[in-house]
Amino acid sequence: MVQLSCYEHKLTPSRATSSTCKAKRRHVRLLGSSPAPPRPFLHPIGTTNIPAQREALWALAWTPHGLVSGGADGVVRLHDPADLELPLNEFAAHPLAVSSLSAAGALAISTSLDGAVVAIDVEKGKLRGRVDTGRAPELPAYAAALHPSASALAWSGRGSKLAIRVIDAAADDEGAACCRRSARSLTPPQSPDGAQIAVGMETGHVVIVDAETQAVLTTYSAHAMGVRTVSWSPDSQWLYSGSDDARIVLHDVRAGAKSGARGEGAAAILQGHQGWVLTTAASPDGRLLGSGGADNLVKLWDIGQRACVSTSTADAEVWGFAWQPEIEGGLAPGKQFAVAGDDKKVSLYRAAGAV
């Protein structure tokens, strides 16, 4: 049985840091409004409707062992990126829609609107376990994030609490898996260095928590509406948040918890989406940020230039965006990614000239 130790921490927005963001407003660059259209950058190389996929795809992750998708039908599917025609494996993991996916190494975690959390061994293609957090109605797990080492799990849900559990990697039964309660914050990814956890809130705040002490390090208030997605740069120095206000905000968190400083807050705002920003993901080399939205747009942003370099139109809302990780035999970092959404299919994109 996978053994987990649990810690819960209430998230209280830090007033000092919220005011810091406002004080630095004059330093924020408003971007994405250039009259020149983004230059062509990527070519679609495969768009495949998944057989028997009758509902939207709400989550997507790309592991060294393949793609993982989660649908509104509650099914988690494993895919070979080279052949998306048929899933390698599928698990009727949840009675309700998959609300989030997180992967680290060979382990993938899915959550559902009913609060259930399921752990899947992507390499072996088998279920590792399941925990029903919905039995505690005030703290179901709606979104979860694995530690980069797959040694711990953080999740959030209804309310204002964040839960963290330690995973016993030595256990290998299918009796249990990985989690327990949480908060109505929407997305809790852990930084690539494993030191911090970011939580996007319905209030528009982004809260940064120390993964070791569970202390709130800082709170950003750059969004006017609920935060749908947060993601980290590969070096854990930047945090990207997307919101219902159609904006993406770049937060400078390079000061970090160890120095005691609070970072620079909102360093830039990327504008270009015409609706909710549903997903963001930084490329493995940290040069590009990908985003998808309720406006059916797939965008790539040059982080250094703070500018959109590519815009593609999907057939429906885009809920999942996943870059190909650095793997043996794969393309160079930042050259290929996959998206999925309400069009019920996985689409692959590749940089022009990439082989």
Which of 86, 152, 95, 97 is closest to 119 using CA atoms?
Answer: 152
Greater confidence, 346 or 156? Answer: 346
pLDDT digits (tens, 9 = 90+) for 4-36: 333 344 444 443 333 333 333 222 323 333 334
CA distance 113 to 99: 6
With tokens 């309310």, the residue in question is: 159
At residue 12, the pLDDT reads: 44
73, 75, 81, 84 alpha-carbon torsion, rounded to 10°: -60
Kindly tell me if the per-residue pLDDT of 192 is higher than 50: yes
Domain residues for 117? 4-351
pLDDT at residue 49, rounded to an integer = 55
In this structure, what are the phi and psi dihedrals at residue 194, rounded to the nearest 5 degrees? 75, 5
Percent over 90 (pLDDT), the chain: 39
- The mean pLDDT of the chain is 77
Report how far Cα 131 is from the mean position of its chain's Cα atoms.
Answer: 21
| CATH code of the domain covering residue 208 | 2.130.10.10
Helix (H, G, I), strand (E, B) or coil at 15: helix
How do residues 207-242 score in pLDDT, each as one tens digit?
A: 888 888 888 888 888 899 999 999 999 999 899 999
DSSP state letters, 27-55: GPEEES--SSPPPP-EEEEEEEEPTT--S
- The string of DSSP letters for 99-152 reads EEEEEETTEEEEEETTSEEEEEETTTTEEEEEEEGGGSTTS-EEEEEE-TTSSE
**In the predicted structure, residue 292 carries a pLDDT above the cut 90:** yes
pTM, two decimal places? 0.80
Q: For residue 256, give the H/E element and its range.
A: helix 256-259
Checking DSSP bridges between strand 345-351 and strand 297-302, what pairing results, if any?
Answer: unpaired
Q: Residues 327, 329, 332, 338: what is their CA dihedral angle, to the nearest 10 degrees?
A: -70
Q: Domains in the chain: how many in total?
A: 1
Express each pLDDT in 89-115 by its tens digit: 999 999 999 999 999 989 999 998 888
Banded pLDDT at 355 (limits 50, 70, 90): low
pLDDT, tens only, 248-279: 999 988 754 444 445 557 889 999 999 999 99
Say how far apart CA 87 and CA 93 lie, in whole Å.
15
Higher pLDDT, 284 or 187: 284
Residue 311 pLDDT class (50, 70, 90 cuts):
very high
